[in-house]
Amino acid sequence: GAGVSQTPSNKVTEKGKYVELRCDPISGHTALYWYRQSLGQGPEFLIYFQGTGAADDSGLPNDRFFAVRPEGSVSTLKIQRTERGDSAVYLCASSSQGQGAEAFFGQGTRLTVV
Amino acid sequence: AQSVAQPEDQVNVAEGNPLTVKCTYSVSGNPYLFWYVQYPNRGLQFLLKYITGDNLVKGSYGFEAEFNKSQTSFHLKKPSALVSDSALYFCAVRPPSGSARQLTFGSGTQLTVLP
């Protein structure tokens, strides 16, 4: 498809389990972003990739969160030892080069930790 | 660090009336400013952006926004609201240069257009 694709759309997991969330950006977009959105809040920045490298991971809340983008396209957000407080919608976005380029968002993955 | 404030959690307007959704920002230098809209259970959709040039920018679905540097504001406007405009609106800012590429979002404003 032409847009940013995120899978799964919904994920329910038990507290303490490991989860992986996948993002397939728009073809040719070098910049990729992960955000987290809680109910009634604006998206909160987690990590930004430029190509294969994480250019800014200052938004990751703790070392249970990790993300990769090994070939500069698809990215995976990994959460270890999930906690109930991790429940949120995880949004992925991509953009072309340039500080003024708008980011295009996927539909998000709704993560529920029970 | 940059920040965005959307002072109104909720805006109600009658269909056919003009609407304004307010946004103020704080960033060093000249900012890049964006508006996004979010419909229920959907991702964010880009509406418009200000980079440089004319202070009035036009975007999708008849929306426009006015950049005011002295007031550090970027209010979203539409001359005649539609019921289908009812959604959650987010203002966002990105610094003009440097390594920080991520958008910083406001807390959102729920717009309800009443028939």
Determine contact: A10 vs chain B, CB below 8 A.
no
The mean pLDDT of chain A is 94
Which residues lie below 8 Å from residue A42, measured CB to CB, with a gap of 6+? B4, B90, B105, B106, B107, B108
Determine contact: A1 vs chain B, CB below 8 A.
no
pLDDT in tens, B6-46: 999 999 999 999 999 999 999 888 889 999 999 987 789 99
pLDDT in tens, B36-87: 999 987 789 999 999 988 999 999 999 999 999 999 999 999 999 999 999 9
- Contact at 8 Å (CB) between A34 and A46? yes
A49/chain B closest Cα distance in angstroms: 10
Beta pairing, strands B56-58 & B10-14? unpaired
Q: Report whether pLDDT(B100) > 70.
A: no
Q: How far apart are CA B66 and CA B46, in angstroms?
A: 16
Where is average pLDDT lowest: A78-87, A102-111, B48-57, B96-105? B96-105
Give residue B99's pLDDT. 60
